[in-house]
Structure 1
């Protein structure tokens, strides 16, 4: 199975007038990390700590069209087992998995319809927090041309768009809105870091996690209790 991803840098809030090499290179590196983490998770049902640890495949910069704003990235499978797992998931399953995962990190609701993609997401639920954390950090860097040049960035599988980065998604990642009214909701804390005093919670067993921090500063003893 040969798969090609396409990264497009184009006009956003400002007209496209050349992609700054610094912002563009960091953005491409971040998107490479996003692809490696999400593809590895979809194939092997495992969250890796570092993108180069992805096994059984690699993503390779392909030849772009002359005068194009697109960068082609090819998925190259390097072992037989990974090839079988990828073929079993299928192109549609991989697409649905990635769209659901990446859109969820940006607060964009997506209906997951592919059965195999659903099974993969469910298998990763226990590791979901770590994966979302790493993807969110990479997405901030992927938005550098959006933040600094006013451009828009889109990631596609073939000709089918997976996710777009623009001013709205940048605001979602960087902006914290404090409401004047409070609301009581029932959640489950899925992770709490005793060192930083921050954590993540979920609203249902199959929902994406959300980061949180206590309203008051906690002492070391209180952080330890929370973590336990």
Structure 2
């Protein structure tokens, strides 16, 4: 039996593919460690200090953990991932359920994403729906959960997600919708801000108009009874 040795070209191609796949996750791990450093007195993490001009262009400063009302943090967990403090970045049950739904309909309808997965997606990945991106999201979530505390994941999430048209971060959202500092948000206002997250443009219009869509009210009324 003659064993064929892989050509130098094929070995080189494999190495290139491995590097292209591996480097983004090294970057993610490094960034996770970087942003976990203690905050400065002004409340900005090193990550935000490094990306300050970009963060400012998107509409907001970094809100510290103490500045964000507990109602906003609790609302996020209630609405998006009620097992957040009990898993390691991913939910096996949710992934199984999403696979079953997507297999049944032969397309990606359900993501089964935890807060950690959503954080990775918003911070590092594109928004296209593909199985490759989902795999990267899962790997990234596992790494993120290893490098960040749960509370810091909540903090980072609330500071980078979109709440309306070019409104990024809960500090900017508090000003945009309620014309106040994030520290003074009331419970119902926190619930409303978390309510808009799945579709910030459409659902955010409900707050702006003061006329609430059925979809907004359904999600809002699911969160509010927990307070």
Structure having the higher helix fraction is: 2
In the superposition, the TM-score normalised over structure 2's length comes to: 0.24
Structure having the higher strand fraction is: 1
Point out the structure with max Rg over C-alpha: 2
In the superposition, the TM-score normalised over structure 1's length comes to: 0.24
